[in-house]
């Protein structure tokens, strides 16, 4: 049909040129071409934006921990948690801004301007390589480096070098990426909604792959440049890619379908809550004035729930169905709240896991030792040949990305349908529980690895040799890391377990929310999902700060990133802290306990709200008329759409 249309266009006749059918075909062909171009430009922009994001977040702990900033490791962890938290929390604000005032296209452009401004400042703060191989501390021109001597308040994160400016810059970047994240998926859906369900599914499948391509490039290539070469080069290239993506998106304005702001559901929710308060107050005053009906009205008042006061029939101004939609949010928000412990565990990939990896052997082969393994023949540090690492610590996050790419289609297309066909449907609530179990296992494995890592670093635990270690000095940039002689590849299981938990909990959690959410509130549910994810990251910051203040799990050594510290080896003036040492393994075990509590709370919520029953009823409602009601629920829901959104 398309080929015939093109031939007619090349040799038009008087009859065909005025044919309404021919004109309609031309318009459809042009519309299809514009949709393809628009989707292609959006998808390429997504790749470049995710590349820039993971280039920054994947190695942020190393950037702050190494010279010239030399932040304490727990302060670098807190900054990374903060950055990830703000980038998720502001998604809700970005979506509200687009819906209420700017529209999605303008909101994304404004977000890109903010994003690029912050990223450009980050490039200026990165150390610049000079021609003779030395490093120029570029940040000294725009912020104060007051801690070069290392004498500062270790409990105050804002006493670190350039801390104030860096936190401001990270906040700006997080606001930009959060607003882009909130709007670019729905904006892409706007381009294909007129084409039916199949183009929408195809777009989101490509959208999901582009997100992972960007993550793969950012983690696989740019973190290598940053660790092995210079952060300045890595940030400059990834920042340029981000700017190119913004320009590409701007040029796409001539083919994009740009819908104006239509009002935010979030604003309407607050209006309903306010109307319920007003209506209840008016009703209470009316009861107090009508003395003879006070008893009867008081009895009726107990039967009316709070939100019901906003309904027409109870004196409010809103239709019953709208108020009932707001009421349904309580169930979904309850599920999101009990998922917060899971997000605390999930964000360890780009924080504590990275810090642990930096203190493991980043070489493929064992380091060459020049000293005996005997305790009596060693000094405080066994002399080894200092080598430049061959493995990038941030590369281990790629195992999470690769596992998602492989396992999601496998479960969606093969495992879930076969289980359902066999009479054992794997409900979304069961998937969330299984994912939580994987998250607990990841923390236990990470804790066990940290125990053996410390044991490898301090092979002589008691007696006169307790302060003698077997370390592998590794040079990253101009910073020396004292690593244990244990390969970083031992971290693969814990990253893989986090990936498996994401396959189940993260995907099923959003799928549950979207399928259970009222039709009028699908968008706000996505924003709330990101919001609670960000709260989990903020909670990780709080836990780190509390443990640093009240325990010795995060005590730092002289290199500002040492998680191998053993304080009895300090000079006599530190005798007060004797018998204390770093124990990051205790922290991982603690998080396993936190996630166990989250699992128990989720079981309680699922029982209180009958989540499995609601899911079953929702699946029945989605069936077409006359369809067999025993068809497995996994075959009715467009999983690819929810997967795409959840991995943004």
pLDDT in tens, 276-307: 787 777 777 776 666 544 444 444 444 577 77
* Residue 299 covered by a domain: yes
Q: In this predicted model, what pLDDT tens digit does every residue of 520-559 receive, in sequence order?
A: 676 677 778 888 999 999 998 888 878 776 565 665 444 4
**Final residue before a domain boundary, out of 277, 294, 318:** 318
Cis preceding-peptide flag for 68 (omega within 30 of 0): yes
> Does residue 237 sit in the same domain as residue 273?
no
Calpha distance 126→339 (Å, rounded): 36
Least confident of 52-56, 185-189, 289-293, 457-461: 289-293
> Does residue 388 sit in the same domain as residue 285?
no
- At residue 105, the pLDDT reads 92
> Does residue 445 sit in the same domain as residue 296?
no
Q: With the CA atoms of 621, 622, 626 and 628 taken in that order, what torsion angle do they form, in degrees rounded to the nearest 10? A: -90
Contact indicator for 84, 78 with CB cutoff of 8 Å: no
Q: How many residues does the chain have?
A: 648
What's the total number of domains in the chain? 3
> Does residue 432 sit in the same domain as residue 549?
yes
Higher-pLDDT residue of 42, 363: 42
> Does residue 148 sit in the same domain as residue 166?
yes
* Residue 4 covered by a domain: no
* Largest separation between any pair of C-alpha atoms in the chain: 102
* Residue 16 covered by a domain: no
CATH code assigned at 459: 1.20.1250.20
The residue range of the domain holding 306 is: 265-318
Higher-pLDDT residue of 537, 133: 537
**Final residue before a domain boundary, out of 254, 283, 318:** 318
> Does residue 198 sit in the same domain as residue 285?
no
> Does residue 80 sit in the same domain as residue 145?
yes
> Does residue 100 sit in the same domain as residue 158?
yes
> Does residue 464 sit in the same domain as residue 396?
yes
* Residue 6 covered by a domain: no
Calpha distance 21→598 (Å, rounded): 60
Calpha distance 65→60 (Å, rounded): 8
Supply angle C-alpha 337, 644, 328, rounded to 5.
35
> Does residue 569 sit in the same domain as residue 482?
yes
**Final residue before a domain boundary, out of 283, 318, 353:** 318
* Residue 1 covered by a domain: no
The whole model's pTM is what?
0.79
> Does residue 307 sit in the same domain as residue 389?
no
> Does residue 179 sit in the same domain as residue 282?
no
Which structure tokens are listed for 332? 């979904």
Strand order in the sheet with 479-487: 360-361, 479-487, 471-476
* Residue 130 covered by a domain: yes
- At residue 297, the pLDDT reads 47
* DSSP-assigned letters across all residues of 552-568: STT---TTS--S--BGG
* Residue 627 confidence class, pLDDT cut points 50, 70, 90: very low
pLDDT-above-90 percentage for the chain: 25
Strand segments, DSSP code E, in 351-435 are 360-361
* Residue 368 covered by a domain: yes
Q: In this predicted model, what pLDDT tens digit does every residue of 458-490 receive, in sequence order?
A: 887 665 666 777 888 888 866 778 888 899 999
DSSP 8-state secondary structure symbol assigned to residue 381:
B
Tell me the CA distances in angstroms from 46 to 187, 188, 432, 478, one per residue in order.
12, 10, 28, 34
Higher-pLDDT residue of 16, 476: 476
Contact indicator for 589, 443 with CB cutoff of 8 Å: yes
* Residue 240 covered by a domain: yes
């Amino acid at each position: 049909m398309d080929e015939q249309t093109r031939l007619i266009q090349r040799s038009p006749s008087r009859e065909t040129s005025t044919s309404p059918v021919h004109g309609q075909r031309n318009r459809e062909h042009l519309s299809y071409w514009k949709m393809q171009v628009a989707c292609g430009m959006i998808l390429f922009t997504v790749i470049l934006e995710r590349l820039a994001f993971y280039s920054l977040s994947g190695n942020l702990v190393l950037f702050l921990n190494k010279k010239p900033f030399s932040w304490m490791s727990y302060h670098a962890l807190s900054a990374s948690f903060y950055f990830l938290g703000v980038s998720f929390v502001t998604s809700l604000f970005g979506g509200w801004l687009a819906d209420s005032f700017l529209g999605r296209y303008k909101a994304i452009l404004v977000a890109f301007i903010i994003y690029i401004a912050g990223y450009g400042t980050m490039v200026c703060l990165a150390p610049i390589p000079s021609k003779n191989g030395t490093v120029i501390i570029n940040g000294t021109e725009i912020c104060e480096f007051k801690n070069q001597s290392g004498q500062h308040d270790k409990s105050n994160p804002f006493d670190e070098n350039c801390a104030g400016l860096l936190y401001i810059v990270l906040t700006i970047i997080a606001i930009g990426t959060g607003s882009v994240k909130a709007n670019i998926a729905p904006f892409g859906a706007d381009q294909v909604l007129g084409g039916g369900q199949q183009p929408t599914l195809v777009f989101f499948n490509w959208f999901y792959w582009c997100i992972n391509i960007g993550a793969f490039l950012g983690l696989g290539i740019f973190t290598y440049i940053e660790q092995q070469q210079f952060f300045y080069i890595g940030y400059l290239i990834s920042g340029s890619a981000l700017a190119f993506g913004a320009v590409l998106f701007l040029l796409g304005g001539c083919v994009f379908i740009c819908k104006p702001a239509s009002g935010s559901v979030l604003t309407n929710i607050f209006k309903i809550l306010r109307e319920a308060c007003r209506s209840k107050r008016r009703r209470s005053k009316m009861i107090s004035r009508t003395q003879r009906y006070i008893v009867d009205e008081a009895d009726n008042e107990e039967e009316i729930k709070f939100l019901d006061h906003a309904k027409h029939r109870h004196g409010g101004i809103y239709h019953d169905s709208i108020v009932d939609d707001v009421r349904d949010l309580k169930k979904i928000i309850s599920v999101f709240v009990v998922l917060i412990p899971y997000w605390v565990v999930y964000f360890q990939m780009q924080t504590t896991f990275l810090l642990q990896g930096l203190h493991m052997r980043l070489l493929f082969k064992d380091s060459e030792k020049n000293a005996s393994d005997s305790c009596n023949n060693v000094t405080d540090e066994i002399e080894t040949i200092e080598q430049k690492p061959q493995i990038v610590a941030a590369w281990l996050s790629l195992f999470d990305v690769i596992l998602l790419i492989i396992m999601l289609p496998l479960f969606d297309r093969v495992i879930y349908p076969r289980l359902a066909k066999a009479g054992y449907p794997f409900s979304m609530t069961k998937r969330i529980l299984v994912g939580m179990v994987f998250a607990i296992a990841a923390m236990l494995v990470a804790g066990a690895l940290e125990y053996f890592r410390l044991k490898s670093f301090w092979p002589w635990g008691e007696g006169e040799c307790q302060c003698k270690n077997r370390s592998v000095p590794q040079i990253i940039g101009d910073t020396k890391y004292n690593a244990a002689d244990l390969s970083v590849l031992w971290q693969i299981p814990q990253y893989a377990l986090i990936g498996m938990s994401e396959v189940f909990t993260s995907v099923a959690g959003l799928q549950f929310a979207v399928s259970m959410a009222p039709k009028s509130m699908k968008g706000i549910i996505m924003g709330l999902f990101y919001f609670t994810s960000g709260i989990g990251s903020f909670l990780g910051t709080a836990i780190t700060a509390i443990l640093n203040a009240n325990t010795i799990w995060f005590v730092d050594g002289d290199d500002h990133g040492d998680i191998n510290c053993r304080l009895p080896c300090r000079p006599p003036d530190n005798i007060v802290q004797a018998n204390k040492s770093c124990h990051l393994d205790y922290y991982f075990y603690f998080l396993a306990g936190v996630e166990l509590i989250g699992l128990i709370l989720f079981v309680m919520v699922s029982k209180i709200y009958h989540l499995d029953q609601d899911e079953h009823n929702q699946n029945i409602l989605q069936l077409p008329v006359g369809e067999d009601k025993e068809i497995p629920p996994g075959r009715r829901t467009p999983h690819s759409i929810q997967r795409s959104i959840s991995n943004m």
